[in-house]
Amino acid sequence: MKLDLSCPTCGSDDIMKNGTTRRGKQNHKCRDCGRQFVEDPQWKPKDKDIIALVNLLLLEKIPLAGIVKTVGVSASWLQNYVNKYYQACRAASRSSAKSQREADGSNG
Ligand SMILES: [Zn+2]
């Protein structure tokens, strides 16, 4: 069963329970980066508005440090998000390049 939590370091949702702290709080561990953390009420999943804003700023080629300040996300979360974002962009541009070549052929 997946826990409804994200890793505060890498943003992964592959989280497992890892016993409790001395204070009796549930402790968790990220399977991706090994980070251990206690569920933090201040840590909230990014909502759609935040994601939309980050996408917009990335399109405007705002430096990551600027996005961190503007949106208020953590630099590590943003770096992880950007990696996924550019992977998706590369996949999209590969398929559009293919359809452009087909269009050029019909014009020739
Ligand atoms: Zn992690």
- Residue 108: pLDDT over 60: no
Entry pTM: 0.45
Cα of 105 vs centre of ligand 1, distance in Å, is 46
Cα of 11 vs centre of ligand 1, distance in Å, is 6
Residues that place a CB less than 5 A from ion ligand 1: 7, 9-10, 12, 30, 32-33, 35
For residue 28, the cross-strand partners are 17, 37
How many other C-beta atoms lie within 10 A of the C-beta of residue 10?
17
Q: What is the mean pLDDT of residues 72-100?
A: 82
At 30 the pLDDT is 92
At 14 the pLDDT is 92
Cα of 59 vs centre of ligand 1, distance in Å, is 26
At 89 the pLDDT is 76
- How confident is the model over 56-74, as pLDDT tens digits? 999 999 999 999 998 888 8
Number of H helices, E strands in the chain: 3, 3
Under the banding of pLDDT at 50, 70 and 90, the label for residue 97 is low
